[in-house]
Amino acid sequence: MAAAAASTQLKYQSGFGNEFSSEALPGALPEGQNNPKTCPYGLYAEQLSGTHFTAPRVANRRSWLYRIRPSVTHEPFHPVNFPNESLTADFTAGTVTPNQLRWRPFPVPPEPVDWVRGLFTLCGAGRASTKEGFAVHVYAANQSMDNSALANADGDFLIVPQQGALRLKTEFGLLDVAPGEIAVIPRGVRFAVVLHNGAARGYVLEVFQGHFALPDLGPIGANGLANPRDFLHPVAWYEDIEGLSYSVLHKLEGHLFVAAQSFSPFNVVAWHGNYVPYKYDLARFCPMNAVAFDHPDPSIFTVLTVPSYTQGAPPTADFVIFPPRWLVAEHTFRPPYYHRNCASEFMGLIKGQYEAKQDGGFLPGGASLHLCMTPHGPDTATFERAAGMADLGAAEGPAHLGHETLAFMFETTAIPRITPAALSCPCVDRDYYKCWVGLKSHFDPTSGPNMTSHPKIQEAGAAKATGSTAAADGTASAGNGSLLSG
């Protein structure tokens, strides 16, 4: 009998990287050993490993699944005739450009398409064959994956829904993931995407190496940003369905294969381990930010990171969000600064308006991409407003970046190459560069230094002009420009 898939609130187990365990039938987990001669309830034992066997203990990932029939029972795999220009896991060829790129929202096609067939690769680096690099996809689907499941042998998926709630049926159990939440499906885990309320659209970061981890917090201390207990893992859930034709899809080096089998692959009655899919509600993220002045680097908002193999080397990828929060920095240009970064930045918008773009061109379901050293930053309207250049009500007091905004970034060390399909896609916004063309010179050599900067510096400048060096606290100090020179 199938254990009922509750349509109401699902149960979860909380934590990050722990050893979890769950059984849908009492006593289904073997006691004290992984593979007894016979398992409780006549189940088959199967290991799923997510790291090489000898990976250091801190990084080692594997789970044990106790299932009605093992995964190996299926007809041979055959290549799926997939529109192969839309899905790739090899970026050794691919286009780079120093131009800023932006895509308007990717439409959900009118014809029936499920989550797998709705995947569309925009860019990536490295290749799955050598387990190096990553891919960035978007998905747009209007059909549930009925009687089919996917295992991705190429890497871990981080799924960022933008529109439409998803139920992820996995071998480990069920996850309900709505826009504003994310899910991670580790390499090899079989899953099916069921649409909860109509068409679905979102973003996917696929990493060919390593696994998502929580960033170290350094001087922040033991708490803050994404807290481990807010990551939710499924409880065991199974369906004992035989006699149907089930399609098991397998993605290997970006190619899709399919095998038929006569039973549901969601037949795991119990499991234990630390290699498990999970979800996280981005509203649980506890942001840290400037409480005096200046704009911190966006790494302050890292939710998850994929550390590199080499200690001290930059991460393969970071998942960063720009959550609702109070902006309180004084005498500060509050939006993102203008910049050219060593890293490359793919951005998406889940809802609302992004703080650096007011031109209406960066919309929920769309995307932008700025490769290594490509200049970018706030558009003209954002600059004029935040710098007080236009009479648009620049706020100097606390201002709330409303609850109706949620943008994110996949920040990567390796330089992403863009797929031909993404570059020729009708969603490409060929006018993106125009959002900065209006930035005019405000240079006035007669206006004097430090027009709007740190008040202590202004005071020091004024004191210098009048021949005194009184500091802000009223004490006199020797020398000149001491606050400037530090």
Cβ closer to Fe ion: 160 or 371?
A: 371
14 binds, among Fe ion, ligand OMD, none (CB under 5 to 8 A by kind): none
Nearest residue to Fe ion, using CB? 345
Count other C-beta atoms under 10 Å from residue 126's C-beta. Answer: 23
Cβ closer to ligand OMD: 234 or 298?
A: 298
Cβ closer to ligand OMD: 156 or 384?
A: 384
Separation of CA 213 from chain center: 12
- Residue 484, classed as helix, strand or coil, is helix
- 272 is annotated as an active-site residue: no
Per the annotation, binding residues are 339, 345, 354, 376
Asked if residue 318 lies in contact with residue 345, where contact means CB atoms within 8 angstroms, the answer is no
**CA distance linking residue 483 with residue 34, whole number of Å:** 65
Q: Could you say which of 339, 351, 454, 456 contacts ligand OMD (CB under 6 A)?
A: 339
210 binds, among ligand OMD, Fe ion, none (CB under 5 to 8 A by kind): none
Question: Considering the rule CB under 6 A, would residue 167 count as an interface residue with ligand OMD?
Answer: no
Please, what is the Cα angle at 437 between 435 and 439, to 5 degrees? 95
Which residues of 85-199 form beta strands (DSSP E)?
101-103, 119-127, 132-141, 148-152, 156-163, 166-170, 173-177, 181-185, 191-195
Q: Could you say which of 50, 186, 273, 298 contacts ligand OMD (CB under 6 A)?
A: 298
255 binds, among Fe ion, ligand OMD, none (CB under 5 to 8 A by kind): none
Element spanning 205, H or E: strand 200-207
Asked if residue 246 lies in contact with residue 262, where contact means CB atoms within 8 angstroms, the answer is yes
**CA distance linking residue 283 with residue 180, whole number of Å:** 7
In total, the chain counts a number of residues equal to 486
- Residue whose tokens read 């390499």: 187
Restricting to residues 349-408, name those near Fe ion by CB under 5 A: none
DSSP 220: G
Catalytic residue, chosen from 137, 233, 255, 295, is 295
Question: Considering the rule CB under 6 A, would residue 356 count as an interface residue with ligand OMD?
Answer: yes
From 111-119, 215-223, 238-246, 334-342, span contacting ligand OMD (CB under 6 A): 334-342
Restricting to residues 207-236, name those near Fe ion by CB under 5 A: none
Q: Could you say which of 211, 334, 376, 385 contacts ligand OMD (CB under 6 A)?
A: 376
From 123-131, 139-147, 310-318, 339-347, span contacting ligand OMD (CB under 6 A): 339-347
Count other C-beta atoms under 10 Å from residue 143's C-beta. Answer: 17
CA dihedral (178, 179, 185, 191) in degrees, to 10, reads 50
Question: Considering the rule CB under 6 A, would residue 323 count as an interface residue with ligand OMD?
Answer: no
From 23-31, 167-175, 309-317, 341-349, span contacting Fe ion (CB under 5 A): 341-349
Cβ closer to ligand OMD: 11 or 434?
A: 434
Burial pattern 214-253, b for ≥16 Cβ within 10 A else e, equals bbeeeeeeeeebbbeebbbbbbbbbbebeeeebbbbbbbe
356 binds, among Fe ion, ligand OMD, none (CB under 5 to 8 A by kind): ligand OMD
From 115-123, 230-238, 337-345, 417-425, span contacting ligand OMD (CB under 6 A): 337-345
Q: Taking the complex as a whole, how short is the minimal distance between the CB of residue 47 and ligand OMD, in angstroms?
A: 41
Q: Taking the complex as a whole, how short is the minimal distance between the CB of residue 356 and ligand OMD, in angstroms?
A: 5
Restricting to residues 63-102, name those near ligand OMD by CB under 6 A: none
Question: Considering the rule CB under 6 A, would residue 345 count as an interface residue with ligand OMD?
Answer: yes
Separation of CA 225 from chain center: 14
Per the annotation, binding residues for Fe cation are 339, 345, 376
Q: Taking the complex as a whole, how short is the minimal distance between the CB of residue 376 and Fe ion, in angstroms?
A: 5
Burial pattern 352-384, b for ≥16 Cβ within 10 A else e, equals bbbbbbbbebbbbbbbbbbbbebebbbbbbbbb
Question: Considering the rule CB under 5 A, would residue 345 count as an interface residue with Fe ion?
Answer: yes
The residues carrying an active-site annotation are: 295
Residues engaged in binding Fe ion (CB under 5 A): 345
Residues engaged in binding ligand OMD (CB under 6 A): 298, 336, 339, 341, 345, 356, 376, 409
